[in-house]
Amino acid sequence: MGERSDEVAMDNLSTVHPGDKTSSIKKSGRQLNKDGDIPCEETSGGAESVYHPPAQGRAEQTDRLAVKRTVDSRFVCTECGYRAASRSHLLVHARKHTGEKPYKCDQCDYSATQKGNLDQHMAKHTGEKNYKCDECDYAATQKGNLDRHMAKHTGEKPFMCGECGYRTADKSSLTRHMTTHTGVKPYKCDHCGYSAALKGNLDRHMAKHTGEKPYICGECGYRTAHRSQLSAHMRTHTGVKPYKCDHCDYSAARKRNLDRHMSKHAGEKHYKCDQCDYSAARKVYLYQHMAKHNKPYMCGECGFRTADKSYLTIHLRTHSGVKPYKCGQCDYSTARKGHLDIHMTKHTGEKPYVCGECGYRTARKSALSRHMRTHTGDKPYKCDQCDYSSNDKRCLKKHMVTHAS
């Protein structure tokens, strides 16, 4: 009776794949051998006599069925052509098109298309951090956060910006960084004219309108609108200093403190270019320089070269005269969205870039960078004909005139 039950189970498996000749049983009552054409045994005298393969052979047959199910029985999404190995996988995928999110958090408004995503979210409420770093005491609620943290120990940063040499351990960070070059700011504030390249920046901006400060320190009651600021604040209690100087033993709790410290090493240039005589005090400067050696996109009008195709497209507007970005308050128009954003500050008076040393404010990020050099003493623009150097590229250009005359 047990053997008969096994036989029925196998029949049920085989009927899932009607075209699979290696494992199906013909309805005539004849079972085929592995070649599929020689009967192994026949029914006789009205009584059924069926050959039962050994247990090992039956297991192998089941394995073959499983493989066949994965390879052949594909489920296809009619919306986008996505192919899945099972109906359940296709149903999960279909929620991307329908917007259905059946898994609801019972503590907030969060909902998810998959239970695993809800489980990860619930860790924010429970405080449970199952992903542990084996190098230090760091723990995370999500594996992706642990992976990003591990890069601090390994130093590995495989994702590089071809425009400026910026490197990161996280692909999503590179994607966010690229918006600084394209100037695209899709996230708009519905209370004012502010727009941002990153949703997180818009969320932080919105706190100015709402006054909401949802992030609270459990040690001292400090409140902030930004989770990153709470993380930085918590280091004042824990003493953790994750930002390390690669030239000495200095470490800091905040990145900007490390940046200020690095100016002390500005005169030391340990990072050498292997294609020319250039050397730099910081690795990031070398990466920025290396991008100059790899610029495959060239303008046929003037020879301008760039590492980024989108930058070539923007440059070509200087020849065509096309200025697609228009100011809604005056006749100004420009070829670059970033230039329009800067122009708009003349109307709004907004100066979002602030110096942490002296409170200087400006509408331009580049102007803040130039200003910061007055504090650090950094003079990256050097004359190749004498010892003159400057913290401003425009000053170097003026100086070069003295040699030309």
Query: Which position has the higher pLDDT, 248 or 23?
Result: 248
- pLDDT-derived band at 276 (thresholds 50, 70, 90) equals confident
Are 296 and 307 a contacting pair, CB within 8 Å?
yes
Q: Report whether pLDDT(68) > 70.
A: no
Q: Over the chain, what is the mean pLDDT? A: 74
Q: Report whether pLDDT(54) > 50.
A: no
Domains of the chain: 2-73 (no CATH), 111-265 (3.30.160.60), 271-404 (3.30.160.60)
The arithmetic mean of pLDDT across residues 381-389, rounded, is 86
Spell out the residues 6+ positions from residue 309 whose beta carbon is closer than 8 angstroms to its own: 297
Report the pLDDT value the prediction gives residue 266, as an integer from 0 to 100: 64
Q: Report whether pLDDT(334) > 80.
A: yes
Report the pLDDT value the prediction gives residue 330, as an integer from 0 to 100: 92
Report the pLDDT value the prediction gives residue 267, as an integer from 0 to 100: 65
Which tens digit of pLDDT belongs to each residue from 288-333?
777 777 777 788 888 888 877 777 888 888 888 888 888 988 999 9
The CA-CA-CA angle for residues 323, 326, 329, to 5°, reads 150
The CA-CA-CA angle for residues 275, 312, 353, to 5°, reads 85
The CA-CA-CA angle for residues 209, 212, 214, to 5°, reads 150
Angle between helices 309-320 and 171-182 (to 10 degrees): 10
**Can you spell out the DSSP letters for 38-93?**
SBS---BTTB-------HHHHHHHHHHHHHHHHHT--EE-TTT--EESSHHHHHHH
The arithmetic mean of pLDDT across residues 221-243, rounded, is 83
Q: Report whether pLDDT(201) > 70.
A: yes
CA dihedral 311, 314, 320, 321 (to 10 degrees): -140
Q: Report whether pLDDT(42) > 60.
A: no
The structure's pTM equals 0.29
The arithmetic mean of pLDDT across residues 74-103, rounded, is 84
